[in-house]
Amino acid sequence: MKKIYLILFILPLLFAAQSCDKELPYPIDDVKRGVVIDIVRSEGTDGVLYRGQTDGNFKVMLSIPEQQGDYSFLKHGQLFAVLERVLPDPTEDNPDRTKTVRDAKVVVDNITTFPTEITIDMADVYSKFGLTTPDIGETLYFTTNAVLKDDYVVPGWTEHTGFNNRILTGWRVNDRAYSYNVRYSVVCELVLDDFVGTCIVTEDTWWEEVPHEVEVTKVSDTQLSIAGLFNGQATNPLIITINPVDYSISFDKQILVPNSGVWWGNPAYNNFAFGNGTGIVDACDTKISFEATASVDAGTFSGTWTIVLGK
């Protein structure tokens, strides 16, 4: 087990006086104010792509959150597609080596009405990347660019910085978190029964002792139970929920080790739990990947912890 000790801080209210400095550390004329555009998959539409197929019902909703305020300096928006592919990159020492490559294209331009729903033509999107159909190992993201009235483009994604506006996920939009992209993974048909039985944990950033076996049972058409996590130290199973539309994984806080205080020799560290779980099911390779926060009675550990398991 990773030797981690929980440190609880009580933060007092601090007051600090700051002097005024008329000289900014950057030229104010070079600062650009962007426009935040929210993008979500339209309810009831397809959430995944299938290998070799571009037909389906693919729609996204674009809106500008109230927190944005004035956006009169926006000329128009663009729907921006980012294609992530895993390609062979063999060497003599490692013939199975792969590399991840990403490319991005504007697929819909001159979006001037908000909120608005956009229908995505997947065949057209893939043609812009010089491809005909989706393939396994690909993930297609949609985000937005903001084109200002001076024609400056605020990109929703770049190769060096990734997706823009990730820090704004604390904003609330229609009783949900602000969303900066929509993701479509290329998948195989999801059959939860394929995961039932003994699976092997190949990554566990909390316990670190891998590989080890776990037992997976089917709870319902959308839930799986994973028993024996942490190399058998988890006395309670973890129940994960799989969304059949987009193959995403979610779960709320669950106590996995009630007597975890013995790990630290401190009863305040009892009731070790995983919570706020998110992840994805890879139906092609029969693999489950998720990350979660970890907590005990005394408080919550910083960061998130990853587990990967499969057949």
pLDDT of residue 18 exceeding 80? no
pLDDT in tens, 278-296: 999 999 899 999 999 999 9
Please check the confidence at residue 9 and state whether its pLDDT lies above 80: no
Over residues 227-237, the mean pLDDT reads 98
The reported pLDDT for the residue numbered 31 is: 57
Residue 5's pLDDT is what?
46
- The residue-averaged pLDDT of 180-198 equals 94
Is residue 61 within 8 Å of 116, Cβ to Cβ? yes
From the list 108, 307, 83, 76, the residue with the least C-alpha distance to 184 is: 83
- Residue 8 confidence (pLDDT) above 80: no
Q: Is the pLDDT of residue 90 over 60?
A: yes
H or E, element range at 212: strand 212-220
* pLDDT value of position 187: 87
Strand stretches in 73-131, DSSP E: 74-88, 98-111, 116-119
The amino acid occupying position 122 is: M
* pTM of the complete model beyond 0.85: no
Average pLDDT value for residue range 113-119: 98
Asked if 102 and 83 touch (Cβ cutoff 8 Å), the reply is: yes
pLDDT tier at 111, thresholds 50, 70, 90: very high
Task: Indicate the DSSP class of residue 193.
Answer: G
Using one digit for the tens of pLDDT, what is the confidence trace for 26-74? 454 555 678 999 999 999 999 999 999 999 999 999 999 999 999 999 9
Q: Mean pLDDT score of the chain, rounded to an integer?
A: 91
Domains and CATH numbers, the chain: 34-187 (2.60.40), 192-310 (2.40.128)
Least confident among 85-89, 180-184, 228-232, 307-311: 85-89
**Averaged pLDDT, 296-302:** 96
